[in-house]
Amino acid sequence: MARDVLCEVNNCKFWANGNKCSAEAIYVVSHKGKQASDSKETDCQTFVPEL
């Protein structure tokens, strides 16, 4: 497992200082079913906008 998950989306409620993700779990999905060819075909479903 990754020790550090980095994120540059600073309007996410899980964004922490140093571009770290503070979520307890990360959920990434593919636009192309169960397989993706590159990172452009994926999205982080963990994102929640900071209000």
pLDDT digits (tens, 9 = 90+) for 10-32: 999 999 999 999 999 999 999 98
| Confidence bin at 1 (pLDDT 50/70/90) | confident
Predicted local confidence at residue 51, as pLDDT = 87
Yes or no: say if 6 and 19 are a contact pair by the CB < 8 Å rule. yes
Query: At 43, which helix (H) or strand (E)?
Result: strand 42-44
Check: pTM over 0.85? Answer yes or no. no
- No. of helices (H) and no. of strands (E), the chain: 0, 4
